[in-house]
Amino acid sequence: METDETLGANGDVFVHRLKELTEEEKQRLELQNTRIIPEGKASKLEREARKHWDLFYKRNETKFFRDRHWTTREFQELINFDSDEQIAFLELGCGVGNMIFPLVKEGFTNFYFYACDFSPRAVEFVKANKLFDGSRMKAFCADLTSDDLFENIEEGTVDIASLIFVLSAIHPTAWTQVAKIAYRALKPGGMLLFRDYGRYDMAQLRFKPGHKIADNFYMRQDGTRSYYFTEEELASLFSTAGFEILMNTYVQRRTVNFKEGIDVPRIFVQGKYKKPAT
């Protein structure tokens, strides 16, 4: 039988088709429509997005997200450099640094790391990390829906940027701005590495009525928000911003935690978007 699946490392499966919903899953999605978040509350969530994320880090400190050890496996671009080449790496929406610190641990001595987030607490956690080294890292606050970034970084100077589980937290009307910011930050030939939640991921299906803000966009209990992407939406967003699409796919993987008895299928989207060299 013909298949459009490709096996990635560590059990990841790359597929280019949307998950098919069971009847029960369709009903669950329908049920979410019975109580949509009113417009006034949705606007308040948008105005207070930074506050909700900052409180998230006040509550969870550095304990919530796991270190992202998969990045060099999934993004060979990170290791395709001569060790004497100076590389400027920018993590957009860095949280407490779960992407950059594993790279620091692995060496990457030729990298200069920029890490930004709009949560002041998250940035303070990055700076307080024992692996933080001010001679090769700069952590700062920036809201990706504005031009803040360029107060700390020059346009066109970044070799690799990453946007890992960040765009889903941002209102869909601001995505174009975020894609443009990433584009402007990169050098010609530079690369944006992307990973986020995919359409019909189990976390999307689990939302109860009272959490849906708009199609595929939800509020979590703590006031942070999350969108679930299709491949097509991302291809359109990033190509309109000027990027060449090198990879753009769903990733299916199982998240297993034997201690907690968890074994769940997850759906992510992963992309590699290149700023054309000329």
Ligand X SMILES: C[S@@+](CC[C@H](N)C(=O)[O-])C[C@H]1O[C@@H](n2cnc3c(N)ncnc32)[C@H](O)[C@@H]1O
Query: Among residues 78, 170, 185, 241, which is the contact residue for ligand X, using CB under 6 A?
Result: 170
Tokens of 233: 């939406």
Judged by CB under 6 A, does residue 145 bind ligand X? yes
CB of 33 to ligand X, least distance (A): 25
CA quadruple 221, 27, 204, 7: dihedral, nearest 10: 160
- Beta carbon nearer to ligand X, 162 or 261: 162
Which of 206, 193, 192 is CA-nearest to residue 266? 206
Applying CB under 6 A, the site for ligand X has a residue count of 21
Report in angstroms how near the CB of residue 5 gets to ligand X at its nearest.
Answer: 25
Amino acid at 183: Y
Q: How far is the CB of 215 from ligand X (least distance, A)?
A: 19
DSSP 197-209: EBTT-HHHHTPPT
Instruction: Give the shortest CB-277-to-ligand X separation in angstroms.
Output: 27
Give me the residue label for tokens 């443009």. 180
182 near ligand X (CB under 6 A): no
Tell me: does residue 95 bind ligand X (CB under 6 A): yes
Nearest residue to 62 via CA among 116, 137, 129, 113: 129
193 touches ligand X (CB under 6 A)? no
- Lay out the sheet containing 13-15: strands in order across: 6-7, 13-15, 244-257, 262-274, 186-197, 158-164, 87-92, 111-117, 137-141
Q: Is 160 in the site for ligand X (CB under 6 A)?
A: no
**Which residue has its beta carbon closest to ligand X?**
95
Is 94 a binder of ligand X (CB under 6 A)? yes
Could you give the 3-state DSSP secondary structure of residue 35? coil
Residue 124 beta carbon to ligand X: minimum distance, rounded to whole angstroms = 12
Q: Is 117 in the site for ligand X (CB under 6 A)?
A: yes
126 binds ligand X (CB under 6 A): no
Strands 6-7 vs 13-15: parallel, antiparallel or unpaired: antiparallel
CA distance 56 to 121: 9
Report yes or no: 152 and 244 within 8 Å, Cβ to Cβ.
no
Using the minimum distance from each CB to ligand X, give the nearer residue, 143 or 201. Answer: 143
Choose which of 115, 126, 164, 219 interacts with ligand X (CB under 6 A).
Answer: 164
44-73 residues near ligand X, rule: CB under 6 A: 49, 53, 65, 68
Chain residues binding ligand X by CB under 6 A are: 49, 53, 65, 68, 93-95, 98-99, 117-119, 122, 143-145, 164-166, 169-170
